[in-house]
Amino acid sequence: MFLDTCQQRHVSVADLNGQVYLRARNFLLSLPSLPGRDIRFEQEPRNIFGGKSARIVRSLLSDPKRTWRQADLVLRAGATSGLVSRIVTHLTQQGYLKKTDARRFHIVSPPALLDAWAQADDFARRTTTHRFTTLNADPLRLAKTISSALAKTKIQYAFTQWIAAWLRQPYTEPPVVSLYISHLPPQAILDQLGFQAVGDAGRVWFHVPSDEGVFRETRGVQDLPLAADAQIYLDLLETGLRGPEQAQALRDWPGFCLP
C-alpha cells in the first residue's frame, strides 16, 4: 500500500521484499519483489487479548481507575516496551483508552474492555487442563491442602474459576477446585494428595497456561493466591456448572477488579 502510494506520487522507494521503484528525469526503474519474499509490516496486533498481549489488558483491568504511563505497564505486565506501545496505541485507536496528556492515559470504560476480552477469549486454546478425582469433598480445605503441597515446590500456581470467585464474592458453592499451574507436580505429590487422573469431570482441575502472565496480578485471600478478578470472570464464562452465574455475581460485586 505504501509503495503504491509512492509510485502514484512519482517518489522513489524500495521495500524489504526487494521491490524497487526509482524515478528520475528520463529514467525509470521498476523491479518486482524477490522470489520467496513476503515481508509485511504489521500495523496492528493480530490479537490484543492473546499471549503476552493479554498481560497488558489484564494489568489495565486490575487497576481500572488508574492513570497509566507506558513505562508503568512495561514493569507491571512484564512485557516489552515495543509490545506495550503497540497495544496501547491500538486500544486508544479503538476507543478503549484515552490520553490525558502526551504520556498518560486511562481506560474509558472498563466494562467495555472486559466485554471485548471475553468475546475474543478462547480458554481451551490457551490452556491445557488435567483433571483429577479426590475423596476430599470440602472445596476450601481441598484448596488449602493443594496450596500447602505446592508451596513446598517451585511450581507457580493461582486459583481461578469457582473457588476463586467464591472466595472473592460467594454465590454458588464451588463444584470444582481449579487453578493455574506452571507445570504438573511430580507423581509423588499427586499420590500424597490422593489424586487420580481422569479424562473428564473430576473435582480438581489443573490448568497449564500457554502464557505465564496469568500468574501476574494475583492476590491473596485466606492465604490462597487467586488469579486477577477479570481473569477469574473470563475463566468461568464457558464452564457450565453455574459458572456463568458465579461469574456475573463476581462482576456485579462492588469490589470487582479493584486493587
Find, among 116, 15, 79, 152, the residue nearest to 107 by Cα.
116
- Check residue 42 and give its pLDDT: 47
Q: What is the DSSP string of 34-88?
A: PTT-------S-S-TTSTTHHHHHHHHHHSTT--EEHHHHHHHHT--HHHHHHHH
User: Residue 88 and residue 71: Cα distance in Å, rounded?
Assistant: 11
Residue range(s) of every CATH 1.10.10.10 domain in the chain? 53-120
Please state which CATH class domain 123-252 belongs to: alpha beta
**All 3 cell numbers of residue 116?**
471485548
Q: Is the pLDDT of residue 9 over 80?
A: no
Taking residue 159's Cβ as centre, other Cβ atoms within 10 Å add up to 26
Least confident window among 35-39, 92-96, 196-200: 35-39
Residue 218: CA count within 13 A, CB half-sphere: 21
Say yes or no: domain 53-120 is CATH 1.10.730.10.
no
- Check residue 11 and give its pLDDT: 74
CB of 19 within 8 A of CB of 1?
no
Confidence of residue 163 (pLDDT cuts 50, 70, 90): very high
Give the pLDDT confidence of 202-249 residue by residue, as tens digits. 999 999 999 999 999 999 999 999 999 999 999 999 898 899 999 999
- Check residue 102 and give its pLDDT: 84
Residue range(s) of every CATH 3.30.460 domain in the chain? 123-252
Region 139-147: mean pLDDT is 97
% of the chain exceeding 70 in pLDDT: 92
Confidence of residue 7 (pLDDT cuts 50, 70, 90): low
Give the pLDDT confidence of 22-44 residue by residue, as tens digits. 877 777 878 787 776 665 544 55
